[in-house]
Structure 1
């Protein structure tokens, strides 16, 4: 499976600790995936927070969500931020 996300870039980006812990990963969502994700993104017409089960979206957006829920993604975040997300 070709990844939509640059986890190697994420792993290689230094964590900034002030004023809080964060990092900026240029091109984290790979350029070749962006158009399809944009096309398949949920059509949200009002402000708020919407569980994924309450919105409709296409295959590319579903693949992005699947990658963000993956074991590899979770482990990369745990290692970077020194936290347990299990």
Structure 2
């Protein structure tokens, strides 16, 4: 599968600068392909993030992942946020399930230069679970924008000291891809180690509950 991501839509999306640099695209994946990609999203029924290397990828979802790490995609991020990510390590993680404790207000780690989120869910019916671009770190209702995690919606932002974001608590299936450009390979190894450890612990706990 080729031309999975609508790069022209990302290219044309205006960058908002308040309260921090970000842009969003309602349909980042071609409409005729998005439903098949959603159906092939890896089966993740636990909360937390999973390294892309630790899950079984099937087509056409695998083609989407392949299409993300391209010079064209990197160039757009460089130009949108005035950052240099062409040679930086990329980390891709997946989330398949949201817990009540997820979505709390936070900023991303300083080891991340930019964050891109692609949502892969059917039409979103819930009032909660929508990502909010926030003005501060304490009030979920003080937001400038809201992103519905629907079929192929995308939001990208430059990691800054005030890149506050989060979403009102939602418990249930909420599939997303998170792409991060990292400051160094060492930072990537550290993130992947903790994601992998967390995944192993969740599987261990789940196995004990089933006994």
TM-score (ref. length: structure 2): 0.39
The correspondence of residues 51-70 of structure 1 with structure 2, limited to 5 A, is 51-70=51-70
Structure 2 distance, partners of 1:62, 1:78, is 24
- Structure 2 unmatched runs, 5+: 88-211
Structure 2 distance, partners of 1:35, 1:9, is 18
Structure with higher helix content? 1
Runs of 4+ in 1 over 6 A off after TM superposition: none
The correspondence of residues 27-38 of structure 1 with structure 2, limited to 5 A, is 27-38=27-38
SS at match of 2:76: helix
Aligned residues: 86
Structure 2 distance, partners of 1:45, 1:26, is 25
Deviations 1:5-59 (A, max 9, x none): 1111111111001111111112111111111111211111101111111111211
SS at match of 1:75: helix
Bigger CA drift: 40-49 or 25-34?
Answer: 25-34
Residue in structure 2 matched with residue 26 of structure 1 by the alignment: 26
Residue in structure 2 matched with residue 5 of structure 1 by the alignment: 5
- Structure 1 unmatched runs, 5+: none
TM-score (ref. length: structure 1): 0.90
C-alpha deviation, 1:82, in angstroms: 0.9
Structure with higher strand content? 2
SS at match of 1:16: coil
The correspondence of residues 65-84 of structure 1 with structure 2, limited to 5 A, is 65-84=65-84
Greater Cα radius of gyration, structure 1 or 2: 2
